């Protein structure tokens, strides 16, 4: 009797399950995003930042996902190295470009928020620099995997880099407490943020998370298909090679 983990580890079962889930997750993401955008548009101007506070509704969810996706990749690395879960590497590979994209968005929207509020697009302070390092870590994960032909080895090395690199997450989180920085301290949602901003922010965070989940599922499905194509192509080439060897072997020539 297979355990739940074994059932979930079966790529064929994952493909069937994800095919059923994907339309629902996508629809939920679009609906919640539509609600979030309406709430964001209707949010009142902040007494200090005026309407630029609306940038928070896309900047903060991007930054949250930038960190959460990296944690997911590191957890997938543990799943691959320790538990040898067959979908762990598929998950890590599919998540990396998505995490890089959200980190890029956190940096871009942060710069666009910083210019009118701080008077500059960029400052080499603790928070901004640590998020930039996270972005380079994502690029490193993608580049390391692309540079190796041996997929199993690439998966293991990428997993090790992801696990070592997780040290950047507490640095990002506490950078605003450890160093003097232009960036504001951590947002305490219920203590420092009025409901007129908190609710749109939470709705947008849910929308971004659902959007990531849908894209991650799709990316994992693509990766499973790519690996199947590769495995079948290798099988085809090997069969053609063995048939050629049989045709040209001395035994096949002397056989009447």
Partner 1 sequence: MMFDLGRHAEFIWLSYGSVGLVAGLLIVWLIVDGRRHARALAALEARGVRRRSAEPAPIDGAAGPIEPSAPRV
Q: How far apart are CA 100 and CA 103, in angstroms?
A: 5
CB 50 within 8 A of CB 42: no
Burial 161-189 (b: 16+ CB within 10 A, else e): bbbebbebbebbeebbeeeebbbeeeeee
Q: How far apart are CA 93 and CA 80, in angstroms?
A: 12
By beta-carbon proximity to partner 1, the closer residue of 166 and 197 is 197
By beta-carbon proximity to partner 1, the closer residue of 7 and 228 is 228
The residues binding partner 1 (CB under 8 A) are 11-12, 41-42, 45, 50-52, 54-55, 58-59, 62, 86, 90, 97-98, 101, 104-105, 108-109, 112-113, 115-116, 152, 211, 215, 218-219, 221-222, 224-236, 238-239
By beta-carbon proximity to partner 1, the closer residue of 42 and 253 is 42
* In the complex, minimum distance from the CB of residue 56 to partner 1, in angstroms, rounded to a whole number: 10
By beta-carbon proximity to partner 1, the closer residue of 31 and 167 is 31
By beta-carbon proximity to partner 1, the closer residue of 166 and 212 is 212
* In the complex, minimum distance from the CB of residue 161 to partner 1, in angstroms, rounded to a whole number: 22
* In the complex, minimum distance from the CB of residue 233 to partner 1, in angstroms, rounded to a whole number: 7
User: Quick one: how far is CA 221 from the chain centroid?
Assistant: 14
* In the complex, minimum distance from the CB of residue 119 to partner 1, in angstroms, rounded to a whole number: 12
By beta-carbon proximity to partner 1, the closer residue of 52 and 181 is 52
CB 61 within 8 A of CB 205: yes
The three-state secondary structure class of 46 is: strand
User: Quick one: how far is CA 202 from the chain centroid?
Assistant: 20
* In the complex, minimum distance from the CB of residue 190 to partner 1, in angstroms, rounded to a whole number: 25
Q: How far apart are CA 30 and CA 53, in angstroms?
A: 23
CB 211 within 8 A of CB 12: no
């Amino acid at each position: 009797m297979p355990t739940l983990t074994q059932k979930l580890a079966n790529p064929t079962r994952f493909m069937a399950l994800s095919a059923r889930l994907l339309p629902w997750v996508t629809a939920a993401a679009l609906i919640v995003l539509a609600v979030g955008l309406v709430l964001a548009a209707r949010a009142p101007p902040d007494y200090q930042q005026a309407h630029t506070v609306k940038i928070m509704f896309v900047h903060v969810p991007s930054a949250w996902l930038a960190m959460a996706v990296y944690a997911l990749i590191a957890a997938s690395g543990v799943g691959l190295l320790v538990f040898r879960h067959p979908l762990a590497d598929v998950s890590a590979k599919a998540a990396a470009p998505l995490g890089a994209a959200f980190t890029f968005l956190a940096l871009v929207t942060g710069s666009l928020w910083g210019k009118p509020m701080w008077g500059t697009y960029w400052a080499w302070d603790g928070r901004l620099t640590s998020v930039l390092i996270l972005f380079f870590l994502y690029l490193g994960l993608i580049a390391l995997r692309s540079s190796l032909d041996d997929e199993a080895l690439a998966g293991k090395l990428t997993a090790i880099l992801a696990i070592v690199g997780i040290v950047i997450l507490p640095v990002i989180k506490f950078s605003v407490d450890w160093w003097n920085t232009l960036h504001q301290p951590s947002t305490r949602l219920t203590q420092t943020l009025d409901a007129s901003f908190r609710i749109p922010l939470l709705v947008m965070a849910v929308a971004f998370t659902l959007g990531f989940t849908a894209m991650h599922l799709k990316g994992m499905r693509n990766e499973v298909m790519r690996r199947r194509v590769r495995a079948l192509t290798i099988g085809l080439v090997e069969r053609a090679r063995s048939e050629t060897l049989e045709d040209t072997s001395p035994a096949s020539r002397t056989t009447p």
